[in-house]
């Protein structure tokens, strides 16, 4: 697929008191935007939450992992498949990775840097040598290196990418041949309104304290805030198709990403705050020109008015709809497809405004199905 096609995902989500993503002081991350302090959740934090959700719902052979332990993982699979002793398997695995320039780290079984790869790709590498692994293990180091140097290990890491690698990409600065251009960009989530950092002073009681021993067993503080967040991500369908090498696989990856990006949430201090919520609004916009982040809708902070029925989430949704309509009008854009799922009252003015911007409200499964159909039709027309 050569023609550019982008899927923009816009989400409004309210989170109660929480510390989703900590800074170096242990407090929730923040940013200045529109002249005021906002709650912020880094793109890395939400991408990891999305990838974790992928792993929880996909078969193990389709999982990806980001780790320094590619050598240990490859050696484990080599030993399991061939019956080699652990030390032999590690030696052969190290020689397989050596021509790529993947250097061993200071800790045994580790490489010098994190690598993002799929478990199936490791199995494909094992396939290359499984039939003669014992013969390789019997060779001296120089002979082993010579016997393995032409084995197409790099090709197995350059192809057959799992969804996660195809979506989020891979960068290995000193081995550019292993790089994969990301098909997905994720923005830092920002609160649509000003936010103040607060602190929870907590105590823990020692259950075995004697009556004459007073005071807490432990005391401490933890920073938190609560916010209605604007979240944005975009997927380059053309890049995703190139990474996966198959249109149907790319369509499946879009569905999986939207499902898990919408439903996931970073787990920082989850046990302390039980902050898991679902979005109030998910809107998708398919474009054939460029991705458009609509965060400018919230450059002027949203303020809840006490004598109005709308809360911050609803006012944020209205701002988003207005910004979207202004953008397409002023720039002359004609999106390929729009769709929306929201939880605001069906008979409200808010629902009517959202419908005028993004179309008839749908359930989330209907939103996914509509997007799939629109992408299939766009791909047919591009051929």
* Structure confidence by residue, pLDDT tens digits, 61-74: 677 888 888 888 99
Domain count, the chain: 2
Question: Residues 6 or more apart from 95 whose CB is under 8 A from it?
Answer: 136, 141, 144, 145, 148
pLDDT at 234: 98
Q: What is the pLDDT of residue 380?
A: 87
Per DSSP, what are the bridge partners of residue 63?
Answer: none
118, 190: one domain:
no
For residue 282, tell me if it sits in a domain: yes
Q: What is the pLDDT of residue 252?
A: 94
Residue 383 has pLDDT above 80, yes or no: no
245 and 376 share one domain: yes
Residues facing residue 189 across a β-bridge: 41
Tokens for 180, please give them.
Answer: 């994969």
- Same domain for 244 and 351: yes
Confidence grade of residue 216 (pLDDT, cut at 50, 70, 90): low
How many Å is the Cα radius of gyration of the chain? 25
Residue 167 belongs to some domain of the structure = no
| d(C-alpha 186, C-alpha 234), whole Å | 7
Q: Give the pLDDT score at 68.
A: 87
Q: Are 277 and 265 in contact (CB under 8 A)?
A: yes
Summary mean pLDDT of the chain: 89
- At residue 115, the pLDDT reads 84
Tell the burial category of 383 from Cβ atoms under 10 Å away from its Cβ (0-12, 13-18, 19+). Answer: exposed
Whether 186 and 298 share a structural domain? yes
Is position 241 within any domain?
Answer: yes
Percent of the chain with pLDDT over 90: 53
Q: Is residue 12 part of a domain?
A: yes
Q: 300 lies in a domain?
A: yes
Task: For residue 206, tell me if it sits in a domain.
Answer: no
- What residue numbers bound the domain in which 310 lies? 6-58+182-195+224-382
Q: Which two tokens stand for residue 195?
A: 């936010």
Residues 75 and 150 in one domain: yes
Same domain as 290, residue 190: yes
pLDDT tens digits, one per residue of 117-138 = 888 999 999 999 888 889 888 8
Q: What's the pLDDT band for 211 if we cut at 50, 70, 90?
A: low
DSSP E strand stretches across the chain: 6-18, 30-33, 36-41, 64-67, 115-118, 184-186, 189-191, 198-204, 218-236, 281-287, 337-342
The reply to whether 48 and 146 lie within a common domain is: no
Lowest-confidence region among 95-104, 107-116, 254-263, 346-355:
107-116
152 in a structural domain: yes
Contact 239, 181 (CB under 8 A): yes
Residues 132, 230, single domain; the answer is no
Confidence of residue 291 (pLDDT cuts 50, 70, 90): very high
Residues 290 and 378 placed together within one structural domain of the fold? yes
- Are residues 41 and 81 located together in one domain of the fold? no
Q: Which two tokens stand for residue 131?
A: 């039939």
Q: Are residues 98 and 46 in the same domain?
A: no
Q: Report the alpha-carbon distance of residue 95 to residue 142 in Å, rounded.
A: 10
237 and 343 inside one domain? yes
Is residue 25 in a domain? yes
Would you say 192 and 226 are in contact if contact means Cβ atoms under 8 Å apart? Answer: no
Rounded CA-CA distance 64/48 in Å is 12
Its pTM surpasses 0.95: no
Asked whether residue 194 carries a pLDDT value surpassing 90, the answer given is: yes
């Amino acid at each position: 697929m050569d023609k550019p096609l982008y899927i923009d995902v816009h989400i409004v989500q309210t989170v109660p008191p929480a510390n989703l993503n900590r800074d170096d002081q242990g407090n929730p991350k923040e940013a200045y935007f529109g002249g005021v302090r906002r709650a912020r959740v880094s793109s890395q934090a939400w991408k990891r939450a999305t990838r974790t959700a992928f792993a929880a719902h996909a078969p193990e052979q389709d999982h990806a992992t980001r780790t320094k332990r590619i050598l240990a993982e490859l050696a484990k699979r080599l030993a399991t498949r061939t019956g080699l002793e652990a030390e032999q398997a590690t030696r052969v695995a190290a020689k397989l990775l050596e021509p790529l320039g993947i250097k061993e780290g200071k800790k045994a079984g580790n490489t010098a840097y994190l690598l993002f790869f799929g478990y199936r790709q490791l199995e494909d590498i094992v396939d290359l040598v499984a039939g003669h692994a014992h013969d390789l293990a019997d060779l001296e180091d120089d002979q082993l290196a010579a016997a393995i140097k032409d084995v197409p290990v790099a090709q197995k890491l350059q192809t057959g990418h799992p969804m996660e690698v195809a979506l989020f990409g891979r960068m290995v600065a000193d081995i550019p041949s292993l790089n994969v251009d990301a098909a997905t960009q994720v923005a830092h989530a920002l609160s649509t309104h000003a936010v103040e950092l607060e602190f929870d002073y907590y105590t823990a009681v020692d259950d075995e304290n004697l009556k004459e021993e007073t005071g807490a067993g432990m005391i401490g503080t933890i920073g938190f805030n609560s916010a209605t967040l604007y979240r944005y991500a975009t997927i380059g369908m053309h890049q995703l198709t190139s990474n996966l090498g198959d249109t149907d696989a790319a369509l499946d990856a879009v569905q999986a990403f939207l499902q898990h990006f919408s439903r996931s949430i970073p787990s920082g201090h989850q046990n302390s705050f039980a902050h898991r919520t679902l979005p109030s609004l998910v809107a998708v916009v398919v474009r054939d020109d460029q991705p458009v982040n609509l965060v400018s809708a919230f450059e002027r902070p949203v303020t809840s008015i006490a004598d109005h029925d709308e809360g911050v989430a609803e006012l944020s949704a209205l701002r988003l709809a207005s910004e979207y309509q202004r953008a397409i009008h002023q720039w002359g854009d004609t999106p390929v497809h729009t769709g929306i799922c929201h939880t605001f009252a069906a008979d409200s003015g808010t629902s009517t405004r959202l419908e005028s911007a993004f179309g008839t409200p749908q359930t989330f499964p209907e939103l996914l199905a509509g997007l799939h159909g629109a992408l299939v039709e766009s791909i047919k027309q591009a051929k």
